[in-house]
Amino acid sequence: MSAKEWLTVIAAGAGVFFMVVAAVGLNRMPDFYTRMHGATKSTTLGISFILLGSALHFGTPFAITKAVLVVVFFFLTAPVAAHALARAAYFRAVPTCPSTALDELKGHYRPETHELEGEVKLHCCAGTAAAEVLSAGEHNSAPANASGETGGAVEG
């Protein structure tokens, strides 16, 4: 086999490895949210590697364009689908595993309208630079959100 064929097999093999990791994570993780977390991300990486292998194998502009298109499509749609599913599961109160320490969204969703209310405090990264950035963003956007929510409540 030539070097190009070896590269193709290695890329496709890496992709299949990540797909297997996703399937194992789907079976071994303790609750729904961790299962989805493990499955979605590694599947995106796996299919990207497999498409890299196909682009290496064919090498024509047509095949490379199609591979790039599918990779971009997966990077756009996989997080959207995962977010929609996790949100639906949270509203249906799918239980988390017993060792879950913290639910920062608890009590912040209105059950009837499925909208956020109040200020969600993030405990996970307290004292770090990320927490400061997040809290600064919340302070900037908080007045607009508050006025919008009260306006909606008055209209309703």
Kindly indicate which of the ranges 82-90, 105-113, 118-126, 140-148 contains the residues binding other proteins, using the contact rule CB under 8 A: 82-90
Asked if residues 131 and 99 have their Cβ atoms less than 8 Å apart, the reply is no
Amino acid at site 73 = F
Name 116's bridge partners. 109
- In the complex, the smallest distance separating the C-beta of residue 144 from other proteins, rounded to whole angstroms, is 25
- In the complex, the smallest distance separating the C-beta of residue 15 from other proteins, rounded to whole angstroms, is 7
Q: Does 134 interact with other proteins (rule: CB under 8 A)?
A: no
- In the complex, the smallest distance separating the C-beta of residue 50 from other proteins, rounded to whole angstroms, is 5
Q: Which of 7, 26, 120, 134 binds other proteins (CB under 8 A)?
A: 26
Q: Whole-angstrom Cα distance, residue 27 to residue 51? A: 25
Asked if residues 46 and 17 have their Cβ atoms less than 8 Å apart, the reply is yes
Q: Using the 8-state DSSP alphabet, how is residue 98 labeled?
A: T
Q: Does 41 interact with other proteins (rule: CB under 8 A)?
A: no
Q: Which of 35, 96, 109, 138 binds other proteins (CB under 8 A)?
A: 35
Q: Does 116 interact with other proteins (rule: CB under 8 A)?
A: no
Contacts of 103 (CB under 8 A, 6+ apart): 96
